[in-house]
Amino acid sequence: MSIGVLQRYRELLPLNEETPLFSMGEGDTPLVRSRSIGPELGCPDLFFKLEGCNPTGSFKDRGMVVAIAKAMEENSIGVMCASTGNTSASAAAYSAYCGLAAWVLIPKGEVALGKLAQAMAYGARILLVDGNFDAALALVREFTQHNPITLVNSVNPHRIEGQKTAAFEISDLLDDAPDYLFIPVGNAGNITAYWRGFVEYHQLGHNDTLPRMMGFQAEGAAPIVRGEPVAFPQTIASAIRIGNPASWKQAERARDQSGGVIDAVTDDEILEAYRMLASREGIFGEPASAACVAGLLKMRRNGLDLAGKRVVCIITGSGLKDPDMAVSSAQANTLEVKPNLEAIEAAIMESLPSGNRATGH
């Protein structure tokens, strides 16, 4: 049986005797050493934290398990969130597991297909809002203030508490904090959560050091970088298409206290990193996740010295969430063939690197 975030970090979470302890297998995700990008950047200690391995395919499950457990403790009848997709998938799954009703508000036409499919399959009530994420979140905040339904966006402090556990896991595996933590920034809850986790572990004496927090927004949705809200955020990375992040101030604090940066990457840079991660590392993250790898490549190009540094990139969600993007952005690797051996052989010979062709039979 999976231990999960609640039991494993019981002492470091806001739980009490009344809080139900359950798990859908969230947390304890892989930390994989880079075999290609790291060495190429002169950074042999580059790691990817695969948060797509959580039960609903994103990091949201770490925070959701705490938020839902607290909602159960408080005898809530149901939960509500606004979402670019992953939060709604996670809220819907954990609500289904616990027998709670879930209402999710999503910006109409802006959520990746896999995420919508999840929320539908888990049986959430889906409200398609003719507006963007920021508008949907404002509605949810307003509604839950006047109704006995639990808000499970990351403005719910229990979400941040749960998400900080990823920083504990990284620290336990590396025996200290990394030098740099690269992370995509949307509503800015996750960068806030990681920073809290590293600071707490430091205060408890588990870590000697603290990482520099390196947050990356998409250029068309980069309010923190610009210093003002973006009314109509645009980016192919739909998960982080957010113009007015709820945890804006906390993200700036994480950046400033850690001596880090919050910067922007273009959609082209995101797509390049997205393809590179999948085709050279075998790691299929979603476009938003690739934003932090794009950020790493950009910082390196701009002269950041990574020699001897330990660097972790947070791959926040699975590439399967956004199948349309995967299919449309892959270079043509498909070939139609007749159903006979000659056609297969011809196709294989054709696609072998030229040096290997002579070694065919």
Residues interacting with ligand F0G, by CB under 6 A? 58, 60, 83-87, 154, 184-190, 239-240, 286, 288-289, 316-317
Shortest distance in whole angstroms from residue 22 CB to ligand F0G: 22
Shortest distance in whole angstroms from residue 111 CB to ligand F0G: 9
* CB nearer ligand F0G, residue 19 or residue 199: 199
* CB nearer ligand F0G, residue 19 or residue 184: 184
Shortest distance in whole angstroms from residue 184 CB to ligand F0G: 4
- Tell me which H or E stretch contains 276: helix 267-281
* CB nearer ligand F0G, residue 214 or residue 239: 239
Distance (Å, whole) CA 301 – CA 73: 49
Residue 32 pairs in a beta bridge with 48
End-to-end CA distance of the chain: give it in Å, rounded.
50
* CB nearer ligand F0G, residue 188 or residue 325: 188
What does the DSSP 8-state code read for residue 317?
A: B
Residue 217 pairs in a beta bridge with 264
Shortest distance in whole angstroms from residue 318 CB to ligand F0G: 8
Give CA torsion, residues 78, 84, 85, 86, to 10 deg. -80
* CB nearer ligand F0G, residue 27 or residue 317: 317
* CB nearer ligand F0G, residue 38 or residue 215: 215
Helix, strand, coil share of the chain (percent; to 5): 45, 15, 40
Q: Are 31 and 312 in contact (CB under 8 A)?
A: yes
Q: Are 288 and 316 in contact (CB under 8 A)?
A: yes
Distance (Å, whole) CA 294 – CA 269: 6
Shortest distance in whole angstroms from residue 245 CB to ligand F0G: 7
Shortest distance in whole angstroms from residue 208 CB to ligand F0G: 27
* CB nearer ligand F0G, residue 31 or residue 320: 320
Instruction: Let me know if 2 is exposed, middle or buried by CB neighbors in 10 A (0-12, 13-18, 19+).
Output: middle
Shortest distance in whole angstroms from residue 204 CB to ligand F0G: 24
Shortest distance in whole angstroms from residue 332 CB to ligand F0G: 27
Q: Which residue has the tokens 């590396």?
A: 174
* CB nearer ligand F0G, residue 3 or residue 96: 96
Shortest distance in whole angstroms from residue 283 CB to ligand F0G: 14
Distance (Å, whole) CA 322 – CA 343: 32
Instruction: Let me know if 85 is exposed, middle or buried by CB neighbors in 10 A (0-12, 13-18, 19+).
Output: buried
Distance (Å, whole) CA 222 – CA 245: 10
Contacts of 16 (CB under 8 A, 6+ apart): 73
* CB nearer ligand F0G, residue 29 or residue 187: 187
- Tell me which H or E stretch contains 48: strand 46-50
